[in-house]
């Protein structure tokens, strides 16, 4: 693994993090991503794309995409993290490297509003049919408010504070221990 990282470091700048013996993460800039992915796929035998997911960092105004690759020879997972702009929210499509990536990209387009130009069927709805609001997995979308607005609430739902409730239920006859006065307190 160290040799591989050195080989990558010769070509582009990366940050690197070891999570486990079989799980590594690489932070890379957006412009290098296609080069890095195709290099890993063609030369280093990371032939399997496990998933592609996004995290919304609302407060820093960015999305973080994670491409998870797997090597069947060495049995190593390698995650590649890229940060993209939240306002623009556009990313180059990788459906030519891994054909099944179009499904992940379609999902991200619907749930996060990240656009992948050129990806096949990216505008089709995935789970939300006829969605009119902002994409629901963005953190500024208020899901509870939307639920109250759209669906009918059944009255009679209430919550208890678990600390008070368990205290009342389990230790009903609980007596506070008397305070022992010490000379130091005075």
Enumerate binding residues for other proteins (CB under 8 A): 127-132, 136, 141, 143-144, 146-147, 150-154, 156-157
String of b and e for 116-148 (b: at least 16 CB within 10 Å)?
Answer: beebeebeeeeeeeeeeeebbbbeeeeeeeeee
**What is the smallest separation between the CB atom of 148 and other proteins, expressed in angstroms?**
8
Shortest reach from residue 140's CB to other proteins, in Å: 13
H helices within the chain, ranges in order? 2-11, 33-42, 101-111, 143-150, 162-170
- By beta-carbon proximity to other proteins, the closer residue of 49 and 110 is 110
Specify whether the CB–CB gap between 30 and 83 falls below 8 A.
yes
Which CB, 2 or 144, lies closer to other proteins? Answer: 144
Query: Smallest gap, in angstroms, from Cβ of residue 24 to other proteins?
Result: 34
Residue among 151 and 174 whose Cβ is closer to other proteins: 151
Neighbours of 56 (CB within 10 A): 21
* Choice between 70 and 141, CB closer to other proteins: 141
């Amino acid at each position: 693994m160290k040799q591989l990282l050195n080989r990558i470091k010769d070509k582009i700048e990366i940050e690197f993090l070891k999570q486990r013996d079989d799980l590594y993460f690489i932070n890379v800039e957006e412009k290098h991503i296609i080069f890095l992915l195709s290099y890993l796929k063609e030369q280093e035998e990371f032939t399997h794309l496990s998933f592609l997911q996004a995290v919304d960092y609302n407060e820093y105004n960015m999305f973080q995409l994670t491409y998870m690759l797997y090597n069947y020879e060495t049995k190593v997972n390698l995650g590649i993290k890229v940060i993209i702009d939240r306002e623009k929210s556009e990313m180059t499509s990788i459906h030519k490297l891994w054909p099944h990536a179009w499904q992940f990209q379609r999902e991200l387009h619907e749930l996060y509003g990240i656009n992948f130009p050129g990806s096949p069927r990216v505008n089709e709805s995935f789970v939300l049919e006829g969605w009119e609001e902002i994409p629901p997995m963005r953190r500024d979308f208020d899901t509870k408010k939307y639920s109250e607005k759209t669906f009918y609430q059944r009255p009679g739902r209430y919550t208890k504070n678990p600390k008070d409730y368990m205290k009342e239920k389990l230790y009903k006859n609980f007596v506070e221990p008397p305070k022992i006065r010490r000379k130091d307190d005075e």
